[in-house]
A = this chain, B = another copy of it.
């Protein structure tokens, strides 16, 4: 793929995420994204010929970022399990001020099928974790608790306090062994 005059693609993807977060998932119009990215509507549609392609781009970049981050954590400290890496990575993600995936609601509103790759990725990750442990019950609890944490973060629910989340993470790490 040729590189654009300026790498508009990433700017646009970031802008889309920002708009979804700040203006609400229902207000993710192409015009808003273009304006936010400092690009004209025509320019946006040049990079992403359709809104669906834009959503798809968001999903793909999210997934590849996540994959890379997980791999980095899992290998950098070779002693810890993938599950521990996943727990810590998710905890860090949730501590960041901006929920990284608030665009997801826009994607769902557009077409729920956009999430199919994410579901597949999750199932794949789960299978990988299953091969790493012999206590399926504990794994399930951990995996779902992380899912819950991520979901709360996504919904912008400040239901848990800072301390509670820290306690949760340490409890999960203990269960993960």
Contacts and interface: CB of A to CB of B under 8 A. Distances in A.
Interface residues of A, number: 43
Contact of A140 (B25, B123, B146, B164): B164
Contacts of A149: 144, 147-148
B147 A141 contact: no
Query: How many copies, total?
Result: 2
A136 interface: yes
- The 6 tightest CB contacts between A and B, nearest first, are A147-B148, A148-B148, A151-B151, A144-B148, A26-B109, A137-B171
Interface of A: 24-26, 105-106, 108-112, 115, 119, 122-123, 126, 136-138, 140-141, 143-152, 155-160, 164, 167-168, 170-172, 175
